[in-house]
A and B are shown apart, each in its own frame.
Chain A
Amino acid sequence: MKINLNVTKSNTISAFLAGVLVHGTQVGMGVLGFQRIIAKEAGHDAWISVILAGLITHVTVWIIIKTLQKYPSADLYGIQEDVYGRWLGTGISLLYLTYFFISAGVILRNYIEVVQTWVFPNLPTWILSGIILFLVYYTIVGGIRVVAGYTFFSIAVTIWLLCDLYFPLQYAHWEYLFPIMDSSLENLFNGMLAMSLTSVGFEVIYVVYPFVENKDRVNKSTQWAVLVTYLAYLLIMLVSLVFFSQGQLMRTIWATLNLHKMVYLPVLERFELVVISLWLIVILPNIMLYLWCSARGLKRLFGFNLRTSLNWIMPLIYITSLTVFTRLEMNMINDWYGTTSMYVAFLYPYFLYIMVLLKQRTQPAKSTSKGESA
């Protein structure tokens, strides 16, 4: 396998779109119900945890870009092979690829659960899952450019949902936010860790990077993307904290949807149903990108082409999504996935960066693309 990739110009995306991809993958299912999970740890200071998580994410993304910039045009799979050697590299890449795959599955399953709880209790899973996965397949086959374009579209048509927070704000009790910094640092830290399920998504840049045309500007655009994500999270968290009392928030699984329940227009009530429908547009880029990364991995490791790898992946995720889970099991899966993603997306990049540094110290960086690695 080549460590560095030469992407044809017709298949590249701009640095701006790379930022869009990062933002689009970060915002997804987590944001519908992250308030409760964080407030469980940090109480009414949960918004501080959001800021802390934001700072950590900024640093992590910066480290990821730093790692990538050590190579002219490599992706995660290439770097891992370069650093760990053939066998270990392939093994770790396989694990990472599985993580991408599981991420897509968790998001899909969570969305189906929301639809079945809130809108159509009788809608069979296989239909919904089938439709979503068909759309995903159709877009991924078009390549990264189509995926990026779709992601941009999805952000453009859903960003206005933030304006709806005006309605719940009318019921705000600002004293719920005080006293500030009442929770211990340990609790704030735990709250930050609980954010991981909502924060992850930026790790797709590991795989997208070789496709970016102007690589010198990736750092800036991804940092902006993370900033926008966390500003939105902070806003939603603050509104939730003043809208719900703590005891109530602990009992509310999808607090963001409950916020939208208060929206009331003369011609349209029960706005949460609109939000849930629109959320399909929001989660599609997540699933697309994760599956694309996963399929890219198969291509890079074993040389399958994208379509062949997708033909393996899609039936697998379809069958997995049909498994019936109860709410408790979903909670367990989400907790487990949250912990895993914390290690994979937040801690591993630092480790990889150190490994890359060590590797390049002993063996100066090969600036030109080289054939088979050692």
Chain B
Amino acid sequence: MRHDRKYAMPLLKRFLALWCSGILIVTGCSDRQIFDETGLATAVGYDLLKDGKIRGTSVMPSINPEARNKIQILSATGETSKGIRDKMNLQSDKRVLGGQIRVALYSENFAKKGLGSIIDTLYRDSSLSSRIYLCVFAGETYDMLTYPYSEQGNIGIYLYRLIEQNIRGEKIPSSTMHEFFRAYYEKGIDPVMPYIERKGNELKIKGIALFKGDRYVSWVTPKEAFLLKLIHGKFRIGSYDTSVPVAIFGESPKNHNSKKDQVQLVFDTISSHSKIKLSQVSPPIFDIHVELHARILELTIPLKLENAKLMKIMEHGLEKELEKELHKLISKLKSLDVDPTGFGSIYRSNRRGMANMTQAEWRKMFQDATFRFHVKSTIIRNGVMD
């Protein structure tokens, strides 16, 4: 009897135990997402059609071993990105999910009309990563994603690696969805994205697309993108190539060919940091102090670099060249009326009571602003050869 009492549970307790184990079993079945039954899109592209509708194209890896194509491409038109996804599901044997999207592409025409609304849905959807790379494609993304590339394999992953590799290598500024949104909702800075083009079988990053608000306006070359980052940012492993006149080294050109008057210099492992000072408030004057350390990697005339004077000359040549290019870039940005470097944020952070500065106010001030560059370069190494 005593034994029985020890193991007998009161009714309530028994009921509770049953209820709990029941719940635990039932919860195991909630929201299953079986890998074989889901189609994980790796890249999506959006185009604007002539009738104002949006065409979405998504790339999914095909895990069917019998399939001839390694990827599966779905395309649908609709008014919204989620509407497009619903239509894509009608074409697919698997449930299309966005959790693995790495790259979102927008056609140039679409980007010109403004991307705000369609990117908004990306940010709102908690199933998507914040680290999605957004880019602009020169042409229709449908054509690009459906093109039968011979070597790239899964085009979504390929694109992702292409962008990732170049961001890591500090060739282009980072452009994750988070950074796009940060710039988009900030009054003193305009967003940027990589600008991608296709040449035959090859995809390449042509440059950096500049946005004004959520509208694409123009693009700049990777070299200019380097300068953008030099103004406001840090380099650890950047690289830059430039040319300076031979004359500054005190050497007369060996063969009097006009093309050889220039010496090509290539610098790499550039580490830099910049300091932007607001020297005058109205109209704004910015003093940009850039300090950079570089290693010389290549030069096209055989110079003996043991001479400290020569190094000084080379440093000076680089400084002058960079300052000239920076001024050129700034006047280009002014004519486009975009501020991808975020001078507006710096202006706001250096003045009190400007927290409510509007974008329009800043654009006006940006036009009147003066930028003074002070570049200081040090060549710390010159390879294994003097």
- A and B physically associate: yes
Report yes or no: B130 in contact with A176, Cβ–Cβ below 8 A: no
Report yes or no: B346 in contact with A245, Cβ–Cβ below 8 A: no
Q: Which residue of A lies closest to B180 (CB)?
A: A248
Report yes or no: A270 in contact with B129, Cβ–Cβ below 8 A: yes
Q: Give CA–CA (A128, B31) in the complex, Å.
A: 13
Residues on B with C-beta less than 8 A from A183 are 355
Report yes or no: B350 in contact with A178, Cβ–Cβ below 8 A: yes
**Smallest CB separation, B137 vs chain A (Å):** 25
Q: Give CA–CA (A44, B349) in the complex, Å.
A: 10
Q: A44-B355, A182-B352 are in contact. Are A131 and B345 (CB under 8 A)?
A: no
| Interface flag for A246 (CB, 8 Å) | yes
| Interface flag for B181 (CB, 8 Å) | yes
Report yes or no: A248 in contact with B185, Cβ–Cβ below 8 A: yes
For B, the interface residue count at a CB cutoff of 8 angstroms equals 35
Report yes or no: A122 in contact with B20, Cβ–Cβ below 8 A: no
| Interface flag for B16 (CB, 8 Å) | yes
Residues on A with C-beta less than 8 A from B129 are 261, 269-270
Report yes or no: B345 in contact with A176, Cβ–Cβ below 8 A: yes
Q: Give CA–CA (A122, B30) in the complex, Å.
A: 8
| Interface flag for B27 (CB, 8 Å) | yes
**Smallest CB separation, A248 vs chain B (Å):** 4
**Smallest CB separation, B72 vs chain A (Å):** 22
Residues on B with C-beta less than 8 A from A261 are 129-131, 178
Q: How large is the interface on A (under 10, 10 to 19, 20 to 34, 35 or more residues)?
A: 35 or more
Q: Give CA–CA (A365, B345) in the complex, Å.
A: 61
Residues on B with C-beta less than 8 A from A134 are 16, 19-20, 23
Residues on B with C-beta less than 8 A from A178 are 349-350
**A130 partner, pick from B23, B131, B179, B186, beta carbons under 8 A:** B23
**Smallest CB separation, A23 vs chain B (Å):** 29
**B355 partner, pick from A122, A175, A182, A258, beta carbons under 8 A:** A182
Q: Which residue of B lies closest to A43 (CB)?
A: B355
Chain A residues 84-136 with CB under 8 Å of chain B are: 117-118, 120-123, 127-128, 130-131, 134
**A175 partner, pick from B27, B99, B345, beta carbons under 8 A:** B345
**Smallest CB separation, B253 vs chain A (Å):** 46
Residues on A with C-beta less than 8 A from B184 are 247-248
**Smallest CB separation, B351 vs chain A (Å):** 7
| Interface flag for A179 (CB, 8 Å) | yes
Residues on A with C-beta less than 8 A from B31 are 120-123
Report yes or no: A247 in contact with B185, Cβ–Cβ below 8 A: yes
| Interface flag for B24 (CB, 8 Å) | yes
| Interface flag for A173 (CB, 8 Å) | yes
| Interface flag for A244 (CB, 8 Å) | yes
Q: A118-B126, A269-B129, A270-B99 are in contact. Are A245 and B185 (CB under 8 A)?
A: yes
**Smallest CB separation, B116 vs chain A (Å):** 12
Q: A178-B350, A183-B355, A245-B185 are in contact. Are A262 and B130 (CB under 8 A)?
A: yes
| Interface flag for B41 (CB, 8 Å) | no
Residues on B with C-beta less than 8 A from A245 are 182-183, 185-186, 189, 345
Report yes or no: A264 in contact with B131, Cβ–Cβ below 8 A: yes
Report yes or no: B346 in contact with A131, Cβ–Cβ below 8 A: no
Q: Give CA–CA (A182, B342) in the complex, Å.
A: 19
Residues on A with C-beta less than 8 A from B186 are 245-248
Q: Which residue of B lies closest to A175 (CB)?
A: B349
Q: Give CA–CA (A44, B184) in the complex, Å.
A: 17
Report yes or no: B178 in contact with A117, Cβ–Cβ below 8 A: no
| Interface flag for B26 (CB, 8 Å) | yes
Report yes or no: B353 in contact with A182, Cβ–Cβ below 8 A: yes
Q: Give CA–CA (A258, B27) in the complex, Å.
A: 26
Number of A-B residue pairs with CB-CB distance less than 8 Å in the complex they form: 87
| Interface flag for A251 (CB, 8 Å) | yes
Q: A245-B186, A247-B185 are in contact. Are A117 and B355 (CB under 8 A)?
A: no
Q: Which residue of B lies closest to A254 (CB)?
A: B126
Residues on B with C-beta less than 8 A from A264 are 131
| Interface flag for A171 (CB, 8 Å) | yes
Name the residue in B24, B129, B187, B351 with the highest tally of chain A Cβ atoms < 10 Å from its Cβ: B129
Residues on B with C-beta less than 8 A from A118 are 126
Report yes or no: A171 in contact with B178, Cβ–Cβ below 8 A: yes
Name the residue in A44, A179, A183 with the highest tally of chain B Cβ atoms < 10 Å from its Cβ: A179
**Smallest CB separation, A269 vs chain B (Å):** 7
Report yes or no: B185 in contact with A179, Cβ–Cβ below 8 A: no
Residues on A with C-beta less than 8 A from B183 are 245
Residues on B with C-beta less than 8 A from A270 are 99, 129
Report yes or no: A127 in contact with B353, Cβ–Cβ below 8 A: no
- Mark B72-105 against chain A: 1 for CB-CB distance below 8 A, else 0: 0000000000000000000000000001000000
Name the residue in B123, B126, B131, B355 with the highest tally of chain A Cβ atoms < 10 Å from its Cβ: B126
Chain B residues 337-384 with CB under 8 Å of chain A are: 342, 345-346, 349-353, 355
Report yes or no: A179 in contact with B23, Cβ–Cβ below 8 A: no
Q: Which residue of A lies closest to B27 (CB)?
A: A127
Residues on B with C-beta less than 8 A from A176 are 345, 349
Q: A176-B345, A179-B351 are in contact. Are A120 and B185 (CB under 8 A)?
A: no
Chain B residues 8-26 with CB under 8 Å of chain A are: 16, 19-20, 23-24, 26
Report yes or no: B355 in contact with A247, Cβ–Cβ below 8 A: no
Report yes or no: B30 in contact with A131, Cβ–Cβ below 8 A: no
Q: Give CA–CA (A178, B346) in the complex, Å.
A: 9
Q: A182-B352, A183-B355, A261-B129 are in contact. Are A244 and B23 (CB under 8 A)?
A: no
**Smallest CB separation, B179 vs chain A (Å):** 7
**Smallest CB separation, B134 vs chain A (Å):** 15
**Smallest CB separation, A182 vs chain B (Å):** 6
Report yes or no: A179 in contact with B131, Cβ–Cβ below 8 A: no
Residues on A with C-beta less than 8 A from B346 are 175
Residues on B with C-beta less than 8 A from A121 are 31
Residues on A with C-beta less than 8 A from B26 are 127
**Smallest CB separation, B13 vs chain A (Å):** 11
- Mark B184-202 against chain A: 1 for CB-CB distance below 8 A, else 0: 1111010000000000000
Known: A245-B185, A261-B178. 8 other contacts (CB 8 A): A128-B27, A175-B346, A179-B350, A245-B345, A246-B185, A246-B355, A247-B186, A262-B178
28 contacts between A and B (CB under 8 A): A117-B126, A120-B30, A128-B27, A130-B20, A130-B23, A131-B20, A134-B19, A171-B178, A171-B179, A173-B342, A173-B345, A175-B349, A179-B350, A179-B351, A179-B352, A182-B352, A182-B355, A245-B182, A245-B189, A248-B185, A250-B185, A251-B123, A251-B185, A261-B129, A261-B131, A262-B131, A262-B178, A270-B129
